[in-house]
Structure 1
């Protein structure tokens, strides 16, 4: 529906209606109910982290399928609305809905996408769609709370092997500390969330245990790598889902939503920074032997790090409540992304920022292809696969430099973390767009009709926003 969404209303073709959805007075009287259904579907998609353009396309597809041709959906960060004009001489009808809660349940997201696909295919009536949507909202999460807490710990533990690159007795002790610290942080965040505390303070508390365990390991001279524990804890907290959605909204022209989402990312990262910095300042005052080089992926051990990257992707997907049937493909995609990154950095000598962008592009490309193969959203196949590429080490190095009174190296590391994050988001968006270039648009034989003949998608006109020479 993106092509239809980018087409001006006056040029949009009328929908081909199924027999039971023929436009009539009953359809006209059903406009409020169709609007309510469309807004509820849009709310679930936006709350799950879907990009604004995809939410608008889904909403337009629902209204188009039910015979409302002159519709204009609009999505911002917390507000979705839709307007319908029955004819040129009638007043438009507008309805809106506020998105107050955001969830990370990709199983529910996939179910909503299947519902939208069935609606646009003309196979579901309005009443049936309401019943299915109610069933989707009632469905429980695929993983209980205790599994998610354990998964958060294992994610941080897998990140220690990804960063450390070694498997020995000390590495396993670091792994155990990272697991325990992440579980404690997750439970603290859940506890204050139940009290209604904002997400900013949840991230402050969730970041403290990993930093505390890292300081404790660094107080003795046994050679334990406390910095690796801190870095592993950061991998479990970095808001990669919000970052990818923010950049995607900006690249597709939804600047207000992109700015709001980027501000959300800034606040969440600031919470992580404050939580870690409070502990690091205390640790530096007690002469904790924090060695920044430990948190860099300096020990190149491809087998260990590839397995760690795939496990990190698997646990990240479970934290996002991805369906069990998607876990294998998501894990494979994460392994592919990390392999591309490792080959470019360690064998090709490419800059880590450039390598991150290319690896993220490959992840976005394969994620989009997997999503089209399953007729689902690309988010479950992409977001978790980006986990191993998150800039956890650079962010930690910047915070440690500030805590040790070295502002110049700290600013350099923080800037590098921001560049890595931007390369990550732009790369995955570009990979998705490259995949769409080679996909066929809906229609007979996957082509579109131009001048009386059928042409492939690549040679046909693709409407998008046009801007020339800055005007």
Structure 2
């Protein structure tokens, strides 16, 4: 007499649901630029759509997923390193996650589609990403110093960092020290070739646009938002990691000083006289947005909406800065950006919120203040250095709280449990 096949079918179904949720959690972790709360909420909603329940314990580079379904409970550990370099996967994941949450897919089909996203190749070849990183730096350069010298030196230095960023993909084990290598290389080239006279501005002002791709402004802001939301462990870990990246950049700049034999006072912080016309400053944001799209693998169809969000953010920040100062202007811009991105992302077929936030967020220039503060301290300017570090903490908080406030104000009301 044969036993009932029901337990075996339940075991298979439970295994399929668990596998799909583990794969989904990994993708969410890898692109967790908005923090741990989004990972937990999305995975739980997907579990309900698959007829299961899930509980998660999330840290920045991992999660413990407990899945309950068909009378069984399974706990799996997921490990993924967080990054923001594959926004095409985030865009592809949003409609799939909505379909899973709505119960339109079974676990087997969901797992197949999630695996396809995970295995997908970047939308742009390596040489377009290289160009994107250069454009990203060049578009940011006028924000540091509005001079033609800053722009063309950034084009040279940005090419160096772009080559390193693209080349390290072939040697993944070097990723952990990439900020250090990039900062050392840029420091050497800048001190030897470009920072010979104060007339062109301080060395750090020349270096920063090329290094901005590695400055952890997104980690700092996400850490602050996590701490504010009560994810203490996750926020603290992410904050420590962001500081570690900043210290790598700082140490790389100092290595450049040591190797070239220059005195630490060579890191003077003097801005050059502006010689860029207004039209160049206006066009710089177009270059910046195009670079962001290519560097972070954002689908090209989103270029115009993202550019409009960049100009919107810059406009709000500039207008409110005139009225209430830099911190108030940054807070107002972050709030407005967070609210508008939340509304646009809530529309059916709208891009994910993190993709809409990314270019506008970078315009608020978070982490560069920390880098500038550290190098000012190293250059023997303690007052200016501590001023920049304090300013970084204040502005990071203003951006994080503003983005959270914008989401709270603009988020559509949820119905049901």
Q: Report the TM-score, using the length of structure 2 for normalisation.
A: 0.86
In the alignment, which of 19, 23, 26 is matched to residue 36 of structure 1? 19
Question: What is the SS of the residue equivalent to 2:74?
Answer: strand
* Pairing 1:210–2:186 present: yes
In the alignment, which of 35, 48, 62 is matched to residue 64 of structure 1? 48
> 5 Å matches for 1:306-385?
306-345=282-321, 347-348=322-323, 350-373=324-347, 374-385=349-360
Q: Distance in 2 between matches of 1:98 and 1:198?
A: 23
Q: Distance in 1 between matches of 2:200 and 2:170?
A: 35
Match of 1:165 in 2: 146
Which structure: greater helix fraction? 2
Q: Distance in 1 between matches of 2:152 and 2:261?
A: 20
| Contact kept? 2:137, 2:158, Cα under 8 Å | yes
Larger radius of gyration: 1
Match of 2:3 in 1: none
Distance change (3 Å), C-alpha of 1:45 and 1:286: closer
Match of 1:94 in 2: 74
Displacement after TM superposition at 1:193 (Å): 6.0
Match of 1:456 in 2: none
* Pairing 1:433–2:371 present: no
| Contact kept? 2:67, 2:74, Cα under 8 Å | yes
Q: Distance in 1 between matches of 2:220 and 2:269?
A: 29
Which of structures 1 and 2 has the larger relative contact order (alpha carbons within 8 angstroms, sep 6+)? Answer: 2
| Contact kept? 1:213, 1:229, Cα under 8 Å | no
Q: Report the TM-score, using the length of structure 1 for normalisation.
A: 0.77
Displacement after TM superposition at 1:265 (Å): 0.7
| Contact kept? 2:179, 2:249, Cα under 8 Å | yes
Distance change (3 Å), C-alpha of 1:306 and 1:271: same
Deviates more, 1:300-309 or 1:223-232: 300-309
> 5 Å matches for 1:70-149?
70-85=53-68, 93-103=73-83, 104-149=85-130
> 5 Å matches for 1:364-443?
364-373=338-347, 374-391=349-366, 394-395=369-370, 397-436=372-411, 439-442=412-415
Question: What is the SS of the residue equivalent to 1:174?
Answer: helix
Deviates more, 1:72-81 or 1:269-278: 72-81
Q: Distance in 2 between matches of 1:236 and 1:29?
A: 45
| Contact kept? 2:164, 2:182, Cα under 8 Å | yes
* Pairing 1:261–2:245 present: no
Question: What is the SS of the residue equivalent to 1:430?
Answer: helix
Q: Distance in 2 between matches of 1:80 and 1:311?
A: 37
In the alignment, which of 215, 220, 242 is matched to residue 219 of structure 2? 242
| Contact kept? 1:174, 1:226, Cα under 8 Å | no
- Unmatched runs of 5 consecutive residues or more in structure 1: 1-22, 443-447, 449-462, 464-471
RMSD: 3.0
Distance change (3 Å), C-alpha of 1:25 and 1:383: same
Displacement after TM superposition at 1:26 (Å): 4.6
Displacement after TM superposition at 1:288 (Å): 5.0
Q: Distance in 1 between matches of 2:345 and 2:293?
A: 15
- Unmatched runs of 5 consecutive residues or more in structure 2: 1-5
Cα deviations by residue, 1:215-257 (Å, 9 ceiling, x for unpaired): 3322157x33454422322432212332232223222222211
Deviates more, 1:303-312 or 1:361-370: 303-312
Say how many residue pairs are matched.
406
Q: Distance in 2 between matches of 1:238 and 1:155?
A: 13
